[in-house]
Amino acid sequence: MLAGIAIFLAVLAAIFFIAGRANGKKQRPIAILVFLGPALVLLLFGLLGPAIRTFVLSFKGSASHTWVGFKNYQWLFTDESMRIVLRNTVFWILFTPIITTGLGLLLAILLDRMRRESVAKSLIFMPMAISFVGASIIWKFVYQYANPNQPQIGLMSSIARHLGFGPTNWLLQQPLNTFLLMIIFVWSQTGFAMVILSAAIKAVPADIMEASALDGAHGWKLFRGVTFPMVRSTFIVVLATMVVATLKLFDIVQASTGGNFGTSVLANEMYSEVFVRYDAGRGSAMAIVLFLLVVPVLVYNIYNLRRERSIA
Amino acid sequence: MAISKKNLLLGGSSAVVIIVVAAVLVATLGSSSGKNGTSAANCANVGTGYAVQQGKTVEVFTSVVGDELTRYQTASADFTACTGIKINWNGSDQFEAQLPVRVTGGTAPGLALVPQPGLIAQMVATGKAVPAPSAVKANVDKYWSASWSQLGSVNGTFYAAPNSANLKSLVWYSPKQFAKYGYTVPTTWTQMMAQSDKMAAAGQTAWCGGIGSGGATGWPATDWLEEVVVREAGATVYNNWISHKVKFSDAPIIHAMNTVWSWMGNSKYVGKVSTIATTSFQDAVTGIPSGGCMQLQQASFIAASLPAGSVVSPTGDAWVYYLPGISSKVTTPVEGGGEFYLAFNSNKDTVEAQTFFSSPQWAIARIKAAGSNGGWLSANSGVPAATYTNPLDALSAKYLSDPNSTFVFDASDAMPAAIGNGAEWTGFTDWFANGTPVKTVAARIDSAWPAGN
Amino acid sequence: MSLLTRNKAPKLADHNAGRKLFGSRGATITVWIIAIFWTIPTLGLFATSFRPKEEISANGWWNFFIHPHLTLANYSAIFSSGTTSGISNGIMPYVINSFVITIPAVIFPITIATMAAYCLAWVKFRGSDALFYGIFALQIVPIQVALVPLLNLFTGGVHIGTVTVVPALHIAGTFVGIWLPHTMFALPLAIYLLHNFISSLPRDLMEAANVDGASHFTVFRRIVLPLSVPAIAAFTIFQFLWVWNDLLVALTFTGGTEGINPLNAKLRGLAGTWGSHWELLTSSAFVMIVVPLIVFFSLQRYFVRGLLAGSVK
């Protein structure tokens, strides 16, 4: 490992040293090549190539032997069970990114105002550090349901019983179950939003805050007038990252319900089609639809970046 | 110049570096003491005709993990000592997802231990699997019944020799609880149902059930239907059902589904039916010793999920009885499953390992490695009945090797993956969770049957 | 650069003064309420990992606090060498593998992504924006669809017709073969996050350096890298977590090679073929969590340094 890192850094140092010698007209193109080249080569082979291959496969049959035209897409948009999957995917995109990012921002602001923030911050961050296997077990102990005559090992059923309601089979209640799964996502990802946004808030110069405070800005007004505009671009970046994470989400659904009881989402179905039912065609078509779903986010990002540039 | 950058990057992870150094130290100190001596191997237990090939390793990729995998290592130790061929038992709980990736990606293992005949066909279709060598075919023809060699064949070519077999047609119960309430082991389906009525009348939960299994939720329910189909309609209809000559919506399957619903979908016996959909299959057995629920249809492996300290014996906390037949026209219906060794190259070492795994010597070594825990059976007729020291295995082996029994293989594992790992699982989960009408469930599964690619 | 170092110390003090000014009891209470809610599920996992196997499925984990019945058996089962765990030499070799996989798989993508992000943000050229959006969009490519093509690249190279574009790399089943996919998959998010940060660095600073005749390489080393430490630290944490807890990439690219499996893949094997050994899964989940938390704690201080204090956008 150390050898690997050493070679990597030595090669970089050598390239920097040699390229840094270049002067005048050649410097710019060389700089672009050196800075961007490695990333582009890796992205080409690691992601772009496979993405193109997926596009091609989406027009082929389950074992990729025959061309089937738009049949996979047609199935995706007309199949009865797929309609629920698409509906759930829309639910997830509408709710989870904004809740996660909003909560992360709230926490980041509050943390900035308290002393000894690091312990609380670490506790909220902790779910991110828990491996997926751990997280699925944790939430099993929250949502688990047993027949009423049995002891309840699920926290929610137990609380419900103590409050005088009968225990409910939470994961069977549609559409409540989809929202229960969203809670798991929010629980695990808020730490990400909080840490990034907190870093952005720390970067807001104290003198600006002070000056505004002396001008009489407090609370909501200070937030709207000063804090939020300063972290706006970071907020959008985190939001976009959360949209992508939501679209790619499959493990929470996979472990909690296996996609049953009307909780499946597109990414989960894609995984199942490719790795459980071995239908590469349908799975690829789903991957392409996921890709198309991210286009609006992309457009919004472009719009926003342009706007920011024109202000600056 | 570059040094400042390096410091910056490494500085951030200095804590990590310290941990690594410490870890390396601990490991070097620890590993020097852990050398285990090899005892003289008994090559008579391996069999004859194997050439010594020092320094070769054959990877066997499998879904088996944990203690079970350790027993595979133990069982193959003599083979390694006598031939020099190391067996790398590589177990992963992601086997089904990983095998196609590795095979199409060009890193196929030497051998894969595949539990689904459907997956064997899939792998053969990639063109990367190789047919079984003649020595393996000779062993299988000699020691296994024709139905087993058929399961390992694709389009008439024999590819994969069977490994273990397991008996699914079992019902778990607690002899202690049965004795307490005066229940007896039923020998006919009618008796079994009559006794279940008695339990229900006494306020007991006659049947335990759980089909939860993460992404594979629903599979235990497919076993229930398969047991009933072979019991009501026999092996011919059953095998035509696998090939979709008999559809889910056809009369025999609909009838069988209704029978399942009057049994495992009967709230009189199981309590709230929808709970079955959210209870994990492992948790279902935990109520047996205490009498929380009285009976559970499940294969013998579920013994691993019994509460710690449960005594598994004909007079103990948990034991099994054979799930009785329904139609008198079908003699001793038995449903089973198993795994098969599929090879992805024809190197000499792979062939040799493959040959050994199809021999009675291997089956005997593997049964001995399990010891009194048991849990590993073979349908290899070269294995003497006395080899099984575990009474549960002896009982299962009796049914699996009975020449008069009607043996069928787990249908969902033999159907195309889109059905056996897809529409059937989700359809049955929906059936139990929502009580969806039988005909709707059947029609949905039929419509998902792949038309070919 | 000198400008920044000079300003750093007093501004840091100012920042703290500012915090004191806005500090509020309400904020503290709210944060703690949320923190406690966030910790309850994890506490359940923690308590469960110390409970005897038979009690775990018999009653709820909160009973642990009412009738504490503590056992270390679950943890000793993980750490012991022996047949019960299926791990012949204990878990230590796999802990080391995890580090060997994770550390380079964090350093490589962050270095490459910082370079690319700087280039896209400050060395403008025709199409650089379009390229940036293209990279952003690549985030959505599911890793699962990239596994087979990458394995093919490693074992067979890339061919168009009969022309070999890339020869077979023969790195499947080596550590390099695991670092490379991790680096590839991390780049879109890393470039996106770092671009956001680097592009907001003060323009005058960059322009001043350019006027001084500093090359892009000097600017990158002397200005961009030091100023990006908070963003680099933040991404280091996430990339570390992702690689440390990864199962998919490790399983696919170890390719059955003995002895390079990371801890996570090995601990999965403990659950057994058919059993649901929650007692082992919960304790191994806690073993897995310790290292990422140390990383988080040790990098956390970079967020509060206020390196950008004094610079106005």
Q: How confident is residue B2, by pLDDT bands cut at 50, 70 and 90? A: very low
Are C151 and B88 an interchain contact pair (Cβ–Cβ within 8 Å)? no
How many angstroms separate the CA atoms of A87 and A84, rounded?
A: 5
C80, part of any domain? no
DSSP of B327-352, one letter per residue?
A: -TTS-SEEEEEEEEEEES---HHHHH
Are B356 and B77 spatial neighbours (Cβ–Cβ below 8 Å)? Answer: no
**B324 plus B382 within the same structural domain:** no
Are B93 and C276 an interchain contact pair (Cβ–Cβ within 8 Å)? no
- Neighbour-count burial for B217-249, b at 16+ CB within 10 Å, e otherwise: bbbbbbbbbbbbbbbbbbbebbbebbeeebbbb
DSSP of B378-447, one letter per residue?
A: ---TTS-GGG--SHHHHHHHHHHH-TTSEEEE-HHHHS-HHIIIIIHHHHHHHHHHH---HHHHHHHHHH
pLDDT digits (tens, 9 = 90+) for C198-230: 887 878 887 787 777 777 888 888 888 888 888
B21, part of any domain? no
**A3 plus A112 within the same structural domain:** no
Identify the chains in contact with B, defined as 3+ C-beta pairs within 8 A. Answer: A, C
User: Is B68 within 8 Å of chain C by CB?
Assistant: yes
Structural domain containing residue C268: 2-17+87-303
Query: Higher model confidence: residue C45 or residue C274?
Result: C45
Are A312 and C247 an interchain contact pair (Cβ–Cβ within 8 Å)? no
Are B274 and A172 spatial neighbours (Cβ–Cβ below 8 Å)? Answer: yes
How many angstroms separate the CA atoms of A188 and A127, rounded?
A: 5
Enumerate residues 268 to 287 of chain A having a beta carbon within 8 A of any beta carbon in chain C: 270-271, 274-275, 283-284, 287
Burial status of residue B179 (CB atoms within 10 A of its CB: 0-12, 13-18, 19 or more)? exposed
Q: What is the ipTM of this complex?
A: 0.83
Query: Higher model confidence: residue C222 or residue B427?
Result: B427
Are B249 and B446 spatial neighbours (Cβ–Cβ below 8 Å)? Answer: yes
Cα B162 to chain centroid distance, Å, stands at 12
The per-residue pLDDT for C9 is 35
The bridge status of strand C158-160 relative to strand C163-166 is antiparallel
* A6 Cβ neighbours under 8 A, 6+ residues apart: none
- Chain C interface mutation, best of A48, A137, A251, A303, highest count of C Cβ atoms under 10 Å: A137
pLDDT at C20 over 70: no
**B121 plus B210 within the same structural domain:** no
Q: How confident is residue C275, by pLDDT bands cut at 50, 70 and 90? A: low
**A42 plus A100 within the same structural domain:** no
pLDDT digits (tens, 9 = 90+) for B118-164: 899 989 988 999 999 999 999 999 998 888 888 999 999 999 999 99
Give me the mean pLDDT over the A278-283 stretch: 88
According to DSSP, residue B188 is labeled S
Q: Can you tell me whether residue A145 is helix, strand or coil?
A: coil
Find the range with the poorest average confidence among B174-188, B266-280, C135-149: C135-149
**A31 plus A131 within the same structural domain:** no
| C247 neighbourhood in chain B, CB within 8 Å | 94
Which CATH number characterizes residue C123's domain?
A: 1.10.3720.10
**B257 plus B198 within the same structural domain:** yes
Q: Which of B112-116, C55-59, C152-156 has the highest mean pLDDT?
A: B112-116
How many angstroms separate the CA atoms of C82 and C88, rounded?
A: 5
**A45 plus A81 within the same structural domain:** no
**A39 plus A132 within the same structural domain:** no
**A49 plus A74 within the same structural domain:** no
B15, part of any domain? no
| C271 neighbourhood in chain B, CB within 8 Å | 65-66, 93
**B312 plus B373 within the same structural domain:** no
How many angstroms separate the CA atoms of A67 and A65, rounded?
A: 7
C71, part of any domain? no
Q: Which of B404-418, C67-81, C270-284 has the highest mean pLDDT?
A: B404-418
**A200 plus A76 within the same structural domain:** yes
| CA-to-CA separations, C290 to A125, A142, B140, B367, C257, in angstroms, rounded | 13, 23, 50, 40, 27
How many angstroms separate the CA atoms of B256 and B226, rounded?
A: 9
**B158 plus B295 within the same structural domain:** no
Are B417 and A278 an interchain contact pair (Cβ–Cβ within 8 Å)? yes
User: Is A21 within 8 Å of chain B by CB?
Assistant: no
Tokens representing residue B67 in the block: 């203690």
Provide the shortest C-alpha distance from residue C78 to chain A (in Å). 15
B14, part of any domain? no
Q: What percent of chain B has pLDDT over 90?
A: 58
Q: For residue C123, give the nearest of A35, A50, A187 by CB distance.
A: A35
The per-residue pLDDT for C232 is 87
The per-residue pLDDT for C75 is 81
The per-residue pLDDT for B168 is 93
Backbone φ, ψ for residue B130 (5° rounding) = -115, 145
The residue type of A276 is V
Query: Higher model confidence: residue B77 or residue C219?
Result: B77
The per-residue pLDDT for C253 is 86
User: Is A269 within 8 Å of chain B by CB?
Assistant: no
Nearest to B129 by CA among B344, B447, B425: B344
Tokens representing residue C120 in the block: 């896209």
Number of independent structural domains in chain B? 2
Are C155 and B282 an interchain contact pair (Cβ–Cβ within 8 Å)? no
Backbone dihedral region for residue B244 (phi beyond 0: left; psi -120 to 50: alpha; all else: beta): left
The per-residue pLDDT for C142 is 83
Nearest to B432 by CA among B233, B235, B207: B207
Helix intervals (H) in chain A: 2-21, 27-43, 49-57, 71-78, 80-112, 117-129, 132-143, 155-162, 176-202, 206-214, 219-222, 228-248, 251-256, 266-275, 280-293, 295-311
Are A147 and B97 an interchain contact pair (Cβ–Cβ within 8 Å)? no
Give me the mean pLDDT over the B335-357 stretch: 94
Nearest to B95 by CA among B111, B110, B114: B114
Q: How confident is residue B409, by pLDDT bands cut at 50, 70 and 90? A: very high
**B183 plus B324 within the same structural domain:** yes
- Chain B interface mutation, best of A277, A279, A282, A286, highest count of B Cβ atoms under 10 Å: A277
Structural domain containing residue B393: 50-166+336-402
Helix intervals (H) in B89-188: 95-105, 117-125, 134-143, 146-151, 175-181
**B180 plus B320 within the same structural domain:** yes
Burial status of residue A24 (CB atoms within 10 A of its CB: 0-12, 13-18, 19 or more)? exposed
A63, part of any domain? no
- Chain C interface mutation, best of B65, B94, B211, highest count of C Cβ atoms under 10 Å: B65
Structural domain containing residue A76: 70-311
User: Is A296 within 8 Å of chain C by CB?
Assistant: no
How many angstroms separate the CA atoms of C300 and C313, rounded?
A: 24
Are C89 and B101 an interchain contact pair (Cβ–Cβ within 8 Å)? no
C23, part of any domain? no
Are A258 and B100 an interchain contact pair (Cβ–Cβ within 8 Å)? no
The per-residue pLDDT for C85 is 44
Which chain C residue has the Cα nearest residue B23?
C96
Write down the residue that tokens 């910790």 correspond to. C39
Are C96 and B308 an interchain contact pair (Cβ–Cβ within 8 Å)? no
Number of independent structural domains in chain A? 2
pLDDT digits (tens, 9 = 90+) for B307-329: 878 899 999 999 999 999 999 99
Number of independent structural domains in chain C? 1
Enumerate residues 262 to 301 of chain C having a beta carbon within 8 A of any beta carbon in chain A: 264, 267-268, 278, 281-282, 284-286, 288-289, 292-293, 296-297, 300
**A235 plus A191 within the same structural domain:** yes
Burial status of residue B173 (CB atoms within 10 A of its CB: 0-12, 13-18, 19 or more)? buried
pLDDT at B257 over 90: yes
pLDDT digits (tens, 9 = 90+) for A13-69: 888 777 777 766 777 888 888 888 999 999 998 899 899 999 999 998 888 788 898
| CA-to-CA separations, B417 to A279, B121, B230, C76, in angstroms, rounded | 9, 10, 21, 40
Q: How confident is residue C312, by pLDDT bands cut at 50, 70 and 90? A: very low
What average pLDDT does chain A have? 83
Give me the mean pLDDT over the C20-41 stretch: 79
| Adjacent-strand bridge partners of C158 | C166
**B174 plus B309 within the same structural domain:** yes
- The enclosing H or E element of C296 equals helix C278-300
- Chain C interface mutation, best of B13, B94, B113, highest count of C Cβ atoms under 10 Å: B13
Find the range with the poorest average confidence among A148-152, A167-171, A188-192, C203-207: A148-152
How many angstroms separate the CA atoms of C181 and C145, rounded?
A: 12
**B191 plus B300 within the same structural domain:** yes
User: Is A115 within 8 Å of chain C by CB?
Assistant: yes
Give me the mean pLDDT over the A254-261 stretch: 83
Are B305 and C271 an interchain contact pair (Cβ–Cβ within 8 Å)? no
Give me the mean pLDDT over the B360-384 stretch: 88
- Chain A interface mutation, best of C144, C174, C297, highest count of A Cβ atoms under 10 Å: C144
Enumerate residues 179 to 238 of chain C having a beta carbon within 8 A of any beta carbon in chain B: 221, 225-226, 229, 232-233, 236
The per-residue pLDDT for B357 is 95
**A165 plus A260 within the same structural domain:** yes
**A30 plus A152 within the same structural domain:** no
